[in-house]
Amino acid sequence: MPATVPRRETRAVVSFESIAADCFRIGVEYPHPSESVEPAQFFMLRRTDGEGPLLPRPFSLERLRDGVLSFLVKVFGRGSRALAAVRRGESLDLVGPLGHGFAPVRREEGVAMVAGGIGIAPFAHLIERALGAGVPAASMTLVFGSANAASLYALPLYESYGTRLVLATDDGSRGFRGNAVACYGAELQAGRLDPRTPVLACGPDRMLHAFARFARERGLAASLSVETFMACGIGICNGCSVPVEPARFGGWPYAKACREGPVLAAADLRGP
Ligand SMILES: Cc1cc2nc3c(=O)[nH]c(=O)nc-3n(C[C@H](O)[C@H](O)[C@H](O)COP(=O)(O)OP(=O)(O)OC[C@H]3O[C@@H](n4cnc5c(N)ncnc54)[C@H](O)[C@@H]3O)c2cc1C
Ligand code: FES
């Protein structure tokens, strides 16, 4: 399928589902059957009725099936709260697909995925594409960590894929006690994961910096998808800069997450 050129459009909301007290799934019509969206590419979403902030907010595509895009959204502030009040039959403004996503999973390599909290969102599309391309479910491991059992969002969907699923919670209420990066490290150390398997991560900033350090120190083939703040989503405002090394154009030690990311090589990310 050809890569899709980003476009701005207004589309009907066709489904809304509550996933947890602070998380919901929203489905939007997407009548472009011949176009593909890479896992971790994102759309800028905004209500059409003027409710909520003027600036749209970025959300990764969760799934693309039967002409419907779905997004898994955690409620943080004004923008996500405004989206939480949208219902079936109303419409949303969307711009996308934007950015560069994760490379396709190679059948002979499999993949390890490390997700923290709402960072789980892009992995449904990644797993579904890989399964569709004939990658065996058993060659994919998803390490999914969150604060507690209640915030392991959309778990039944991930259980349904048949991939290896390793859960972690900060409070120990489900699975490994600790965060997703520590859990991934424990899996490597126990020999249940091969360090040569490409590893992809998505989650909050702090987790991704910890993951990048971990991957750099061990020379792992690792990529990550950042969840920075974004204002424009299209490379104009510089609001999404993340520190990187080597420096980019003209010695500038930052990458624009919306244009050069959100997926970056873990080896390139710099920070605390
Ligand atoms: C490429 C990309 C993909 C994303 N995909 C998803 C997704 O699939 N699902 C999803 O729920 N979110 C996703 N996010 C994060 C989402 O864009 C933010 O949560 C959203 O913009 C918050 O907007 P708001 O108006 O609700 O909160 P704001 O009013 O902007 O912020 C409210 C409060 O929450 C804090 N906050 C805001 N965003 C975050 C964050 N990401 N992490 C920690 N604290 C935060 C702020 O510091 C502030 O205190 C993604 C971000 C990027 C860059
Ligand atoms: S969000 Fe404006 S440059 Fe990236």
pTM over 0.75: yes
- What are the boundaries of each domain within the chain? 7-98
Alpha carbon distance 59, 39 (integer Å): 12
**Ligand 2 centroid distance, CA of 229 (Å):** 9
The CA 195 to ligand 1 mean position distance, Å, reads 31
Give the position of tokens 């209420």. 173
* 168 — pLDDT class (breaks 50, 70, 90): very high
List residues near ligand 1 (CB under 6 A): 42, 53, 57-60, 71-74, 76-80, 118, 121, 204, 227-228, 230, 262
CATH number 3.90.1150.10 is the correct assignment for the domain at 7-98: no
Element (H, E) at 132: helix 123-132
Would the pLDDT of 19 be above 70? yes
Q: 30-88: per-residue pLDDT in tens?
A: 998 778 899 999 999 999 998 889 999 999 999 999 999 999 999 999 999 999 999 99
Mean per-residue pLDDT, 157-178: 98
Pick the closest to residue 138 from 122, 153, 127, 152 (CA basis): 127
